[in-house]
Amino acid sequence: MAIHLQQALEIGKYIVTQRLKGRKKYPLTLMLEPLFRCNLACSGCGKIQHPTDILVQNLTPEQCFAAVEECGAPVVAIPGGEPLLHPQIDEIVRGLVTRRKFVYLCTNGLLLEKSLDKFEPSPYFSFSVHLDGLRELHDKCVDRKGVFDTAVKAIKAAKAKGFRVTTNTTIFEGADPKEIQEFFDFVSTLGVDGMMVSPGYSYEWAPDQNHFLKREQTKALFREILAPFKAGQKNWNFNHNPLFLDFLTGEKDYECTPWGMPSYSVLGWQKPCYLLNEGHYATYQELLDNTDWSQYGRASGNPKCADCMVHCGYEPTAAVDAMQPQNLTRSLGSVLSMSR
């Protein structure tokens, strides 16, 4: 796996610290959305469906830093919208790196190459470039030709300047396992620092509601896609705890940790996760205290959660499980193998 050693050790230390303090609900990753504007209109994403008066808003750097300090998560993912449209995104990233947070700036890649001079390489900072497949599939997913080639060119430019770069791929219903395997082969030639994958699940504001995966579909599809990797025939470099991949293929049966990746945006703290459109709280503590967490996750019986296997709920579960004595050797071994 590609989660580098420093990040793995610091997250492990953080989890142990939370346990020693007796905390049962704590975040691992803050989903920090400094704006909802985007230069694409992907059918599987509903961010730009917000009203115009919301789309023109930005979080200030000070608001971003306050949110990070408020929840205390060691990892900060910056999705959007398109974060590179934010006029102060470089200031936000610098402030988070100074605070020793592991930052993943999520981008579709269209503005990446021309924005590289705004940032400095750091072990705490990665660009996470959205690629949903090879050229034809990706350009279809984002509904614009040429985006794949622009993103790939930007990835090469970022790597040439010494930046950490990962890719982020959502796999939807109808995906061809062989095409996804070919895509993983191609991405591996780019020298990226890891690939992240997640099954597509129904985001309530998304225009296209017809191509999200059901739970058993997800397991079957990922078993087929990852079969060469599991058999040792492919050495694909995933930016995941191996236990999360076991979960996707049905080898692990986890429950959701809905508080593990809270989302903060211009609207406040989303309740309870970014996939659901149930309103917002003004503070993180309100989110923790006022949410009836028993109503979320598969075990709750909530029909909105029944088929979800998305990383935001289950990677935190896998991360905590990785700290169990029986799993430590495998989890740490996978990190060490990619750190040599």
What is the pLDDT averaged over residues 26-30?
Answer: 97
Domain spans in the chain, listed from the N-terminal domain onward: 5-339
Q: Would you say 110 and 82 are in contact if contact means Cβ atoms under 8 Å apart?
A: yes
Who contacts 232 (Cβ-Cβ below 8 Å, separation ≥6)? none
Residue 205's pLDDT is: 45
What is the pLDDT averaged over residues 296-308?
Answer: 90
- Residue 172 — pLDDT band, cuts 50, 70, 90? confident
Residue 265's pLDDT is: 97
Residue 179's pLDDT is: 97
Residue 332's pLDDT is: 61
Q: 88-96: long-range contacts (C-beta < 8 A, 24 or more apart)?
A: 88/58, 88/60, 88/61, 89/34, 89/115, 89/118, 90/118, 90/119, 91/61, 92/34, 92/61, 92/64, 93/119, 93/125, 94/120, 95/61, 95/64, 95/65, 96/64, 96/65, 96/68, 96/124
What is the pLDDT averaged over residues 257-277?
Answer: 92
CATH architecture classification, 5-339: Alpha-Beta Barrel (3.20)
Q: What does the alpha-carbon distance between residue 47 and residue 42 come to, in Å, rounded to a whole number?
A: 9
Who contacts 215 (Cβ-Cβ below 8 Å, separation ≥6)? 306, 307, 308, 309
Tens of pLDDT, residue by residue over 177-193, are 999 999 999 999 999 99
- Residue 173 — pLDDT band, cuts 50, 70, 90? confident
Proportion of the chain above pLDDT 70, given as a percent: 91
**Which position has the token pair 């622009």?**
150
What is the pLDDT averaged over residues 57-66?
Answer: 98
